[in-house]
Amino acid sequence: MKVAFKTAALSLTMMLSLTAVLTACGSNKTNDTQPSDTAKPAGNAQQTDSGKKSDLAPYKITWFVPGSAAQKDQDLVNQEVSKYLKDKINASFELNVIDWGSWQNKMNLKFASGEPFDLMYTANWDGWGTKLQQGVLLDMTDLIEKYGQDAKKAIDPALLEGSKVNGRSFSLPVNKELASHRGVLVRKDLVDKYHFDLSKVKKMEDLEPMFDVIKKNEPGVTPFYINKDLSPNSVLDAANFDGLGDGIGKLDRDAKDFKVINEIESAKTKAAIELARRWYQAGYINKDAATQQDEDGALKAGKAFSYPDSLKPGKDAEKSTQLGSQWVQINLTDPIVTTGDTTGAMVSISKTAKDPARDMMFLNLLYTDKYLVNLIAFGIEGKHYVKKSDNVIDFPPGMDPKTSGYNLNQPWLFGNQFNDYLWANEDPNKWDNFRKYNQSAERSRVLGFTFNPDPVKNEVAACTNVMKELSPGLYSGTLDPNEYLSKLIDKLKAAGVDKVIAEKQKQLDEWVKANKK
């Protein structure tokens, strides 16, 4: 999933943007906590609660999501969804897929212009706090109570509660795995070709012998493909530190106390940066890593042997279907549930939506209607997939992931994943494994803690700019840590990072005391 690894710069941005949200949501002004009149459904206001299609005027629901590329048969799928929704809520439907590389810029342009649309993908790493601060997300709380009760019941309570801001819901989380862990995915054909023993890989350094073989024998294939947000530190940071919401200031997972440290100054972060530098100089990492925004193009083109990612049960099977080649995952950290995991994939209603009540009626269907969620996630039966059994699908004869007209294959974007079909290459026990995974994962000892950056908002903004300047180059191995790591630390000091750490420590101490930790 793309949501898993974003740099500390993005995290700091979210911290800053939540400042205004936490203040606004705590006020008593009606406009801050209640949906506007536009939340009333178009149609007969006295009859609409019945849910009868005849009570509703025609309405078009538009939804924007990120993806690897626009789908050739997107219009066909939209038409099928529209036919289905007409008899349900008298609505038509338009899903728009924006490529990952331009996702944030294009969405920001829509916000700036006030373009009317209905739904959007949101996530903690994707400027969710900024969107809240800007007021572009509708408060969905009352809409959920009135039109989304079935969806509410379908979502894991931990996800639902964790995605709230001061008790208000500005998004609905996708009902999926609650925990996450880190590791790498590797190409199965090359693993088989060179008889690599993946069972021997217990830590990042154990990958190096494989990288060396690939570099020497597979010209044009990058051994370890990363981008500005995916790096060795992406994996190692999760193993080494317990995040405190977002941004700089974490707990060392080996420590038993609740001391907040600047992880950029730690020996563990230095080791991760030095590892990236060594791999970069050895030619294991792509040269454009510090500026690259999306790895999928290289993966689909066969130009990469491995890449780091956030993992879950069956992630390799999902990526294999999406990329059109077989991948195998190597788990390098243990699963853990953090506050950030509850806001990793969500859907929000735009403040510019003309009929938010209809949007919520649609979402209520999406989280409960198995046909609808699979139509949007996987396309049209008989054209984009065929059923092998009641719950298992595969590509039609003569078709594969690369030739299909609809292979978005990002089901974690939509509704309730426990209603999704399984591809033939997936574990038939996938959803049971998900439930066991959620139940067995370690809970962060600071699960539920959220840092309020308001007292140090200027320092947070300054640190954000410093991280944007230097962290992609350091984490990717492009910059020499002997020269630039000290510069990053000095610039963070000058920007006020110690003041941020002190404030986070103060708030954490209060939280620990209140929660009797």
- Residue pair 55/326 in contact by the 8 Å Cβ criterion: no
- Residue pair 56/23 in contact by the 8 Å Cβ criterion: no
Which candidate, 331, 320, 325, places its Cα nearest to that of 423?
Answer: 320
Buried/exposed 383-404: b ≥16 CB within 10 Å, e otherwise: bbbeeeeeebbbbeeebebeeb
- pLDDT tens track for 302-352: 999 999 998 989 999 989 988 889 999 999 999 988 877 788 899 999 999
Domain containing residue 81: CATH number: 3.40.190.10
Strands 59-67 and 91-99, bridge-based pairing: parallel
Q: For residue 194, is it within any domain?
A: no
Q: For residue 517, is it within any domain?
A: no
Predicted local distance difference test score (pLDDT) of residue 166: 74
pTM for this model (two decimals):
0.73
**For the range 154-159, what are the long-range contacts, defined as Cβ-Cβ under 8 Å and sequence gap of 24 or more?**
154/367, 154/368, 154/416, 155/367, 155/416, 156/438, 158/337, 158/342, 159/342
Q: For residue 419, is it within any domain?
A: yes
- Residue pair 3/340 in contact by the 8 Å Cβ criterion: no
Q: How many domains does the chain have?
A: 1
C-alpha to C-alpha distances, 247 to 8, 243, 271, 383, 509, nearest whole angstrom: 5, 8, 19, 45, 18
Q: For residue 371, is it within any domain?
A: yes
The residues that bridge with 422 in the sheet, in sequence order, are: 392
Interatomic CA distance for residues 43 and 54, integer angstroms: 9
- Residue pair 470/220 in contact by the 8 Å Cβ criterion: no
Structure tokens at 309: 């990612």
Q: For residue 89, is it within any domain?
A: yes
- Residue pair 60/79 in contact by the 8 Å Cβ criterion: no
Q: Which amino acid, one-letter code, is at 39?
A: A
Kind and range of the H or E run holding 84:
helix 74-89
Structure tokens at 15: 């911290």
**Residue ranges making up the domain that contains 388:** 56-177+341-431
Interatomic CA distance for residues 204 and 437, integer angstroms: 23
Predicted local distance difference test score (pLDDT) of residue 53: 60
- pLDDT tens track for 434-454: 888 888 888 888 887 878 777
Q: For residue 82, is it within any domain?
A: yes
- Residue pair 505/309 in contact by the 8 Å Cβ criterion: no
3-state secondary structure of 418: helix
3-state secondary structure of 112: helix
Side by side, the strands of the sheet bearing 172-173 are: 91-99, 59-67, 119-122, 346-349, 172-173
Q: For residue 68, is it within any domain?
A: yes
CB-based burial label for 110 (10 Å; 0-12, 13-18, 19+): middle
Predicted local distance difference test score (pLDDT) of residue 452: 78
Predicted local distance difference test score (pLDDT) of residue 444: 86
**Residue stretches of the chain with pLDDT short of 70:** 1-54, 245-246
Token pair 């209140």 in the structure block, residue = 514
**For the range 379-384, what are the long-range contacts, defined as Cβ-Cβ under 8 Å and sequence gap of 24 or more?**
379/73, 379/77, 379/404, 379/405, 379/406, 379/407, 380/73, 380/76, 380/77, 380/80, 380/406, 383/73, 383/76, 384/73, 384/77
Dihedral sign, CA of 264, 270, 274, 276?
Answer: negative
Which candidate, 16, 517, 516, places its Cα nearest to that of 245?
Answer: 16
> Rounded to 5 degrees, what angle do the CA atoms 188, 434, 314 make?
10
Predicted local distance difference test score (pLDDT) of residue 52: 58
The residues that bridge with 468 in the sheet, in sequence order, are: none
Q: For residue 415, is it within any domain?
A: yes
